[in-house]
Structure 1
Amino acid sequence: MILSAKTRKAILSVPFAREVANLVVNISNKRFYKKLNAEKHFDEKIKSLKNSKVGQRCFIVGSGPSLTVGQLEAIKNEDCFGANRIYKLFEKTAWRPKYYVIQDKYDSTKGVYEKLDVEYLFISDFYWKEHGMNNPHAICYHIDRTLKQTSDLPFSEECSKFIQAASTVTFTMIQLACYMRYKEIYLIGMDHTYANVTNDKGVIIQKNKVKSHAFEDEKPNEVVANISYMEDAYRTARKYCEAHGIGIYNVTLGGALEIFERKDFWSIF
């Protein structure tokens, strides 16, 4: 069921509503994925990627307003992850992500994703259950949510079984990159600035002069970021990478994400 930002806010204001909602979603998605996977064997496709990129590097591309076509052109021959509506920049560049991830069920641009020609198209069961998917490249993955916001987040080491969700698709892409065992992960276009931010109580703060993406949003008021939860996820990712000898760096041109070590984008070439 697709709910408006206003309705979501009202629901989250009710005590324990988030916990109950996430429990229901987890149970429903688990049943859905089990049935779908029994037919399509997506878990085997994901499992084939485990440790497939040992010692290599990749780029995880966000869609923040600092992202430039010049950056995308510079990494068009690199292994890259992209997500959600990054396709809006395709007409401006030859760059295409090797791995494309769709997670947000509130993203209604189904027809575009059906036609995407990418090597790997990862679709969350959260999205697939709501919209379906006929793209032959599509691989459905199972996501799991914590019942309430917590700084002690799980980090999936078995993406063929589940991927931990945490208010940002970037966390999903980092888990996949680590699962494939990339040695170096570079984040670009991760400005970490949004026009609408919320906390776990559903309180929304509007920042009218802030642009959320490098492209125009059709419904900007529907883009609401839980900054604190995202940062919990990023700290969990940094901790995991540090413990497993994986370098993860923020090479965004500016922005507000200071959790990962910064490097100059152009210097890495």
Structure 2
Amino acid sequence: MWNNPLLSPFINTASYIKNVIWLRIVFKTKTLWRRVRKGSPYREIEKYKDKYKGKRCFIIATGPSLTEEDVQKLKNEYTFGMNSVCLMTEKLGWSTTFYGVQDPYVYEKLQGKILADSKPQYFVSDLLYNNYKCPSNAIPFSLNYLNHRHTYKRLFTKFSGNVAKEVFDGYTITYSLMQIAAYMGFSKIYLIGNDCNYSKDPNKQHFANYGHADPNADFSGRRILFAYQVAREYSKSKEFEIVNSTRGGALELYRRADLDDVLAGKE
């Protein structure tokens, strides 16, 4: 029945009403309440508005190019970890300044490691905050999925200028952390481990295999690059720059800067 071409337009319309229009109404209602409610944890992020204005930070993604050696060099920098970066903590001997996670499947795999480390300031999506045990200092953000629950074929996203209100889904936690970092005032946002060329082999998608793989790996790179293009266009009129310091990879949208040169003050 679902493949019947005669029913397809009706099914598509029903999906759009449910997964775009209705979810938009629910989301806006929730975010309004979260912003006006006294003592709302969703307002905690406001204390970070422009707190690091003019400084630089490093967003550590989990692509196969990421190495413990490179991350170790960032010990004295402002860093954003995500997802399986927490698997490095014990060997590193230190934790990232901030840490973000938004995918429930990822969180279920890594929850034990995340809860065992109280050092980072955690940023978690509302879906996780409302349905899972999160670190005691976790600050939730309202993740706006836009049309993504309806279709991934029609790519679309935005870049939030006020993450206390909403963070727009850009098909990856990295995109959410870009928005949070910009809100915090960082003027240079360096990316490492951001390969953007997902392998179909689940054992080669990340620097560490932790039992989670993207089933749509062949399409993920295109989705993410689309969102990164939106971020680049947004940054042109704002006071921050996104720079790619990944070793290799397929991300060429941003200016590249060698990580060692950046840390040596040559950038």
- TM (norm. structure 2) is 0.81
Structure 1 Cα separation of the partners of residues 208 and 13 of structure 2: 36
Q: Check conservation: 1:105, 1:130, Cα contact below 8 A.
A: no
- Aligned partner of 2:86: which letter? Y
1:166-225 CA-partner distances (Å, limit 9, x unpaired): 211111010011101111110000011223xxxxxxxxxxx2387111101314365746
Paired residue total: 244
Structure 1 Cα separation of the partners of residues 214 and 157 of structure 2: 28
**Moved beyond 4 Å, runs of 4+:** 22-37, 148-152, 221-225
Out of 142, 157, 162, the residue aligned to residue 161 of structure 2 is 157
- Aligned partner of 1:111: which letter? G
- Gap change, CA 1:87 and 1:139, over 3 Å in 2: same
1:79-138 CA-partner distances (Å, limit 9, x unpaired): 0111122111122213421111110022213333333213411110122233242x2211
What corresponds to 2:201 in structure 1?
208
Q: Check conservation: 1:122, 1:138, Cα contact below 8 A.
A: yes
1:247-269 CA-partner distances (Å, limit 9, x unpaired): 21100011111111111111112
Q: Structure 1 residue 235 and structure 2 residue 206: aligned?
A: no
Structure 2 Cα separation of the partners of residues 164 and 151 of structure 1: 13
- The alignment-based identity, stated in percent, is 28
What corresponds to 1:4 in structure 2?
none
SS in 1 for 2:70: helix
Q: Check conservation: 1:100, 1:120, Cα contact below 8 A.
A: yes
- Gap change, CA 1:159 and 1:111, over 3 Å in 2: same
What corresponds to 1:48 in structure 2?
47
What corresponds to 1:201 in structure 2?
none
Structure 2 Cα separation of the partners of residues 103 and 268 of structure 1: 29
Q: Structure 1 residue 194 and structure 2 residue 186: aligned?
A: no
Structure 1 residue 68 displacement after superposition: 1.1
Structure 2 Cα separation of the partners of residues 18 and 68 of structure 1: 42
Q: Check conservation: 1:29, 1:125, Cα contact below 8 A.
A: no
What corresponds to 2:137 in structure 1?
137
Structure 1 residue 243 displacement after superposition: 1.3
Q: Structure 1 residue 217 and structure 2 residue 210: aligned?
A: yes
Structure 1 residue 233 displacement after superposition: 1.1
What corresponds to 1:257 in structure 2?
251
What corresponds to 1:62 in structure 2?
61
- Aligned partner of 1:260: which letter? Y
- Gap change, CA 1:214 and 1:40, over 3 Å in 2: farther
What corresponds to 2:100 in structure 1?
101
- The more displaced of 232-241 and 112-121 is 112-121
SS in 2 for 1:111: helix
What corresponds to 2:185 in structure 1?
181
What corresponds to 1:21 in structure 2?
19
Q: Which runs of 5+ in 2 are unaligned?
A: 1-10
Q: Check conservation: 2:191, 2:246, Cα contact below 8 A.
A: yes
- Aligned partner of 1:235: which letter? Q
- Aligned partner of 2:243: which letter? Y
Q: Which has the larger radius of gyration?
A: 2
What corresponds to 2:6 in structure 1?
none
Q: Check conservation: 2:57, 2:190, Cα contact below 8 A.
A: yes
Structure 1 Cα separation of the partners of residues 202 and 111 of structure 2: 29
What corresponds to 2:127 in structure 1?
126
Structure 1 residue 228 displacement after superposition: 2.3
Structure 2 Cα separation of the partners of residues 16 and 211 of structure 1: 38
- Gap change, CA 1:136 and 1:22, over 3 Å in 2: same
